[in-house]
Structure 1
Amino acid sequence: MAVDPRTPVLVGVGQFTERIDDPGYRGMSAVELATEAAGAALADAGVGAAAVDTVFALRQFEISGPMPATLGKSNNYPRSVMNRLGGKPARVVLEPVGGQSPQKLVTEAGGAIVAGEADVVMIIGSEPGSTARYFADREDKPDFTEHIEGQLEDRGHQIHQYFTEYTAKHGLTGAAVQYGLLDNARRRRLGLSVADYRRQMAELFAPMSKVAAKNPFSSSPVERSVDEIVTVSDDNRMICDPYPRLLVARDQVNQGAAVVMMTVEAARRLGVPEEKWVYVHGHADTVEQDLLDRVDLSESPAAVHAAREALRVAQIDVDDVATFDLYSCFPFPVFVICEALGLNADDPRGLTLTGGLPYFGGPGNSYSLHAIAETVCEMRDRPGQFGFVGANGGTMSKYSVGIYSTLPAPWRSDRSVELNREVAALPAVPVTETLDGTATIETYSVRYDWPVRTGIIIGRLDADDSRFMATTEDQDLVALMSDGDPLGAHIKVRTTEDGNRATLA
């Protein structure tokens, strides 16, 4: 079919991984990792960096909050990368924190291209977590500080949108504990035992490790069995309940990814072969309620809306999808989309193309850029079929979906704004921050990653069924939370200067 010359197409993808046990491991910077990936994407498209007029860049962990980067950083990450490649884009953007950002930026870039605001766009991301750890205790630390002149639209890290002073005071200072609350809430809804639910999580993730084992860009290319993932050991220690290490996103990685997107007109002018072109058929970007507002912590209406809306925009059904890559920092986000679309853990199409965040690697906000790169390559190899990418950010706070295919298609708008209004209008649970009384445990996690093992609780007050948070170091209650099943348990809660504290009733 004939398409409008301003229709956006993805024409180049690149990835790069540096493993700490590789011969010649360098301990590369975020800029160096992204440069390798961006160079590969340009080579894949067969175009030079000079053709790029706009760059969207993803934020690394080291610049995702108020703390300084321990090894120094560029003041203009995207321009540092483009300078190395010989490009001088008119506009560069640094995106806020969020794992949904790669897919969200593809949608944003597509809209800008259609509107005539850009012709050739590059999206780049990288994560040097391995480098930071490698040099942490060494005296020969490199200095990655760079000062680059030029325009930069820095949208700020915006990390504080994902937590409050109240939630942080009660232990929600890392992703594992946050998602532990959600997975345990889901276990309660399903009525499963601790052991049965852990096996269900392992059965979901074990097939991903098989994919990772064959992916040359994986940080940990090792196939894991269900029993290996389930069994807690010195090598598979508990991180935050209900997750042993092999169910947790691997953030100690050195990875980079990049994609090149341009108008059909530019692709023809620059001589990009049509067999390289991949169209965006569907897309959606949704925002969930704040964590403590959600009526049912075991569900994510916004993510479900995003998945179904992207399919609607693409004018296909889930049965028409040939490949999936579902954001898998922890099991919960995968379970949500599987339930929404009727997918099983053993779906023959698979749930990942990369190998998943615990095995392929979890390069911070950039993971789904790798998923998009893999999907583009897969669609080129399977002309006319459809690939689904689901990208998640925050504590199931934001979800973005893209549907890709080599089939020509016009750029279509989505109803994300309307859907987000619907989600924002959902009922909210009242929260009581200061309290003294009896209650029940609604969901929980246990922080094994703290010096003192600590229980993290979301509960409901007996007096009015309002929601609250509390922590506990009480031996009896922590023992129940670690080795038993505390869901629905009766507790006493009181407010102290350091937050709410719980004991068994």
Structure 2
Amino acid sequence: MAGGRFIPVVVGVGDIKNKSSKVEDAIEPLQLMLQATSVAIKDTGLSLSTAKKLQSSIDSVSVVNTWTWSYDDLPGLLSEKLGITPSHKVLSIHAGSSPAKLFDEAARRISLGESKVAVVTGGEALASLGACAAAGKLPPPGWTKTSESGRALSLSDITGQGRRNLGTTHSVGLPIHVYPLYENAFRAHRNQTLQENDKESARLYANFAKVAEQNPLAWNYGQLAATEETIQTVSKKNRMICYPYPLLMNAFNNVNLAGTCLLTSTEYARELGIPENRWIYPLGGAGTDDSEYFWERPNFYSSPALSRSLDAGLEISGLTKDDIDIFDFYSCFPIIPKLACHHLGLSITNPPKPITLLGGLTSFGGAGNNYSMHAITEMVRKLRKGPALHGLILANGGVVTHQHVICLSSKPRNHHSPYPAKNPLPALTTDWQVPPIEAQAHGEAIIETYTVEFHRDGSPLRGYIVGRLKENGHRFLANHADQNTLLQLSSGVKEQIGRAGWVRTAEDGRNLFTFDDKGGKL
């Protein structure tokens, strides 16, 4: 014990990958999580009888919400299958930050004596679901039926895009839209050319692909890693999704993956006889959110939530960035590891220490909300092997919205101090200035950031502009007003941020932005 409190440790981790795309091999998320939990229990190194005692002692079940399938009570179903009646059961929100947040909270409960053994798990079977849908086998044979007929979730369920707001009025707000808005703004903020930025992103993701190439759990394992040239070159197989990100810079979510972490106290681990060389110590965690609505952010070249989560996660763990031997930065799109590297002063394309253990959501596989669970399990394995002592995981969710950082170590906290009693950060960052928002904008304007969505055939579909009115600096959202403006925005040869134009409100309520001088027509 430390300071009258228990010391939490990770004693078992497990991962499952079901690579088959056959309908008869489709395994639902619930079963994948159970398999991963079984692997985690076995990973403790205990005998069969003692492992059963450990399993019966599980009193906390935390589950990362799954994109694949809608369950009535997923934590309850898992508990029933495990033969336990935990006093604590929780299902996360839909956010990629959830694995780190649930892990942090589980470690805290163990420290406070509120839990003896905790399971943190999550899983997806989107590849199997897609195969079953293509074969007309929905619901898939044998999958759990629920009050909602076991329906698969739509992206609007997950992102909240079904709610009418300023974003939906302009058909903008999905991850494929918002992360490019940040990438473009970050590029302009650093005075990069478009070509320099594309090359940087491609090199970053080529480095990540090399990591996934060596990871047996990666969805792309066994395939040659995509090269920098392949990732950067737009082609039929690598079509542009939303500028500046072609397909190979977007998260790939059609995977069947599950992961589980098993935590207890050093006291109970010692009582059970779990070897100390299996123990990895959670040191601390911190997380906060930026505004749910991306247009209510202070700017688009930084994230207060991301920066503060990194700083607070390190501080509360008693570490500095120089103490960290291994990082794993969430990487649904290149912008998140870029923002993390930039804040910590690390090179983006040639960092002195690893910044991914998995290889990113393009090459490892998106795993829905659960990607960072696999980062935790892999971090545990790396720290057990040494020589690395300390690791940091940044988990990101939403549209640069939810952030949570955790630090792990092969050694206890400094001076054996107790695990932090609370998250040091507020639930939401609010202490920054946001320009007034003009729902209906009219007049001369400047582009603050932008992106263009493309058709499958490679032609531009729609422009999305975040702009500022010249008259008062107020912010607005807009779509392109005409084909000429759309073509200029999508050209990829000239910086569009900072360019002037005009905005007006159409009859359907959308703001429309143009580079063409409309004179009095505005």
Instruction: Note whether the superposition's TM-score is higher than 0.5.
Output: yes
Out of 496, 502, 510, which is 1:492 matched to? 502
Whole-Å separation in 2 of the counterparts to 1:246 and 1:132: 22
> For 1:400, which of 392, 401, 404 is the aligned residue?
404
Supply the distance in 2 between the matched residues of 1:12 and 1:161 (Cα, whole angstroms).
37
The answer to whether the 8 A contact 2:443-2:503 is kept is yes
1:118 partnered with 2:129: no
| Secondary structure, aligned partner of 1:408 | coil
Alpha-carbon distance between aligned partners in 2 of 1:404 and 1:89, rounded to the nearest angstrom: 25
Shift in Å, 1:296:
2.1
Answer whether contact 2:65 2:93 (CA < 8 A) is retained. Answer: yes
Change (3 A) 1:298 1:415: farther
Q: Provide the residue aligned with 1:430 in structure 2.
A: 436
Q: What is the match of residue 420 of structure 2? A: 413
- Structure 1 partner of 2:31: 32
Q: Distance in 2 between matches of 1:414 and 1:163?
A: 36
Give me the TM-score of the superposition, normalised by structure 1.
Answer: 0.90
Structure 2 Cα separation of the partners of residues 493 and 263 of structure 1: 60
Distance 1:416 1:429, change over 3 A: farther
1:230 is aligned to 232
Tell me whether 1:274 sits opposite 2:276 in the alignment. yes
Structure 2 matches for 1:411-490, cutoff 5 A? 411-413=418-420, 416-417=423-424, 423-448=429-454, 453-472=461-480, 474-484=482-492, 485=494, 486-490=496-500
Q: Alignment RMSD, CA only?
A: 2.5
Please give the secondary structure, in 2, of the residue aligned with 1:256.
strand
Compute the TM-score of the two structures, normalised by the length of structure 2.
Answer: 0.87
Q: 1:76 aligns with which of 69, 73, 94?
A: 73
In structure 2, the partner of 1:295 is 298
**Distance across 2 between alignment mates of 1:458 and 1:351:** 31
Distance (Å, rounded) in 2 between the aligned partners of 1:75 and 1:293: 34
SS in structure 2 opposite 1:492? strand
Unaligned 5+ segments in structure 2 are 148-156, 517-522
Judge conservation of contact 1:383–1:405 (CA < 8 Å) in 2.
no
Can you list the C-alpha shifts for 1:173-215, whole angstroms capped at 9, x where unaligned? 4211110101001111112222211111112221111110011
Match of 1:154 in 2: none
Q: In the aligned structure 2, how far is the partner of 1:327 from the partner of 1:309?
A: 17
- Secondary structure of 1:281's counterpart equals strand
Query: How far apart, in 1, do the equivalents of 2:64 and 2:425 lie?
Result: 26
Count of residues in correspondence between the two structures: 486
Task: Provide the residue aligned with 1:247 in structure 2.
Answer: 249
Distance in 1, Cα, partners of 2:103 & 2:254: 26
Structure 1 distance, partners of 2:504, 2:215, is 51
What secondary structure, in the 3-state scheme, does the structure 2 residue paired with 1:364 have?
Answer: coil
2:215 corresponding residue in structure 1: 215
- After TM superposition, the structure 1 stretch with the greater mean CA deviation from structure 2, 389-398 or 486-495, is 486-495
Contact 1:325 1:353 in 2 (8 A): yes
Deviation at 1:446, TM superposition (A): 1.1
Name the % identity. 31
Contact 1:384 1:407 in 2 (8 A): no
Separation of aligned partners in 2, 1:437 and 1:369: 48
In 2, Cα distance between equivalents of 1:277 and 1:377: 10
Are residues 291 and 493 of structure 1, via their aligned partners in 2, closer, same or farther at CA, if it must alter by over 3 Å? same
CA pair 296-415 structure 1, distance change in 2 beyond 3 A: farther
Q: 1:339 to 1:11 in 2, by over 3 A?
A: same
Residue 105 of structure 2 aligns to a residue whose secondary structure is: helix
CA contact (8 A) 1:280 1:411 kept: no
Aligned counterpart, 2:371: 367
Match of 2:330 in 1: 327
Residues 103 and 40 of structure 1, relative CA distance in 2, 3 Å threshold: same
The counterpart of 1:318, out of the listed 317, 321, 326, is: 321
Going from structure 1 to structure 2, the CA distance change for 1:14 and 1:235 (only over 3 Å counts) comes to: same
Contact 1:179 1:330 in 2 (8 A): yes
Write the letter of the residue equivalent to 1:469: L
- Which AA in structure 2 matches 1:499? R
How far 1:504 moved relative to its partner? 2.0
Q: What letter is aligned with 2:286? A: A
Q: Which residue is equivalent to 1:104? A: 101
Aligned to 1:51: 57
Instruction: List gaps (5 residues or longer) in structure 1.
Output: 63-68, 149-156
Deviation at 1:450, TM superposition (A): 7.6
